Amino acid sequence: MKIALLHLDLSAGPLDKNIIQLQEAIRIAAINGAKWVVTPEMAVQGYFFTQMKRPFDLNINIENTIKPIIKLAQEFGIYIFLGCGEFDEIDGNNYNSCLVIDDSGNIIARHRKMKVVKSKSEAWATPGNKYTLVNCNNFKVGVLVCADAWFSENALELKKREAEIIIVIAAWPPGCGGPPEEAWKRCSNASGNKPVFVCNQTGYNNGMNCLIAKSAVILEGELEFAYKGNPAVVVCEIENNQELSLKQCAVFNI
């Protein structure tokens, strides 16, 4: 099976531009055999969408906004792990979320970031309070958003829920709380040495240098593969024998 990490420059937005970039990258991933496609944190609006000196809407009807991406999930029969901000009409709160869209275009899960960073960048977001485990192609997948992966107790909870793979979406360059690779290794170890796939982003925006940020694959607590630099679609092929292993990764620059 192939898992694609969309290592894109999205943090400054705007939303319309990001949607176009995501569509292009998803098509590249699917054409090259990816069955799961993972985006960075806040891929739809951009991590800094409230700080870019342009109008923004916090009461977001996300299902309408992401219809072009849902159509691609249907067209190619793929799962998409999509980072976005969303508004919950029931509780009246905004969340920094990872939506899981299945191969029929249904939103089958939504993980809401629990460890919201106390900064202007995330002041708009309410912390989530639930762990997310979702079945994708017969794998039990745990989902975390960026800083959620820093705290070992979150990986331990996913272990209790028998997660087989952990997906992390991120906007996490070195220097924000320490080397993120160490956090991802801890996450893998605490989860019972399960594979951790991290989709980070690139670009230099609002003082955050993601040009040196890595997207990564962690296997059994060790960094197996990492990519940083220009925008790219990274397609990782995994083999499922007795344990999951990484066969190869291909990088498609865009």
Tokens of 179: 């080397």
Question: Quick one: pLDDT at residue 178?
Answer: 73
45-62 burial, b if ≥16 CB within 10 A, otherwise e?
bbbbbbbbeeebeeebeb
- Around 39, how many Cα atoms within 13 Å sit in the side-chain half-sphere? 31
Q: Answer for the pair 62, 107: CB distance below 8 angstroms, yes or no.
A: no
Q: Which of 129, 91, 102, 101 is nearest to 113 (CA)?
A: 129
Quick one: residue 6, left, alpha or beta (phi over 0 = left, psi -120 to 50 = alpha)?
beta
Question: Quick one: pLDDT at residue 194?
Answer: 96
Cβ neighbours of residue 106 closer than 8 Å, sequence gap 6 or more: none
Question: Quick one: pLDDT at residue 12?
Answer: 95
Question: Quick one: pLDDT at residue 73?
Answer: 98
Q: Classify 120 as helix, strand or coil.
A: helix
d(CA 45, CA 42): 6
Question: Quick one: pLDDT at residue 242?
Answer: 65
Taking every pair of C-alpha atoms in the chain, what is the biggest distance, in angstroms? 52
d(CA 67, CA 120): 29
Cβ neighbours of residue 130 closer than 8 Å, sequence gap 6 or more: 111, 112
**Residue appearing with tokens 């639930």:** 130
- Ordered per-residue pLDDT tens for the chain, 254 residues: 999 999 999 999 999 999 999 999 999 999 999 999 999 999 999 999 999 988 888 777 899 999 999 999 999 999 999 999 999 999 999 999 999 999 999 999 999 999 998 888 899 999 999 999 999 999 999 999 999 999 999 999 999 999 999 999 999 999 777 789 999 999 999 999 999 999 999 999 988 999 999 999 999 999 999 999 999 999 999 988 767 888 889 999 98
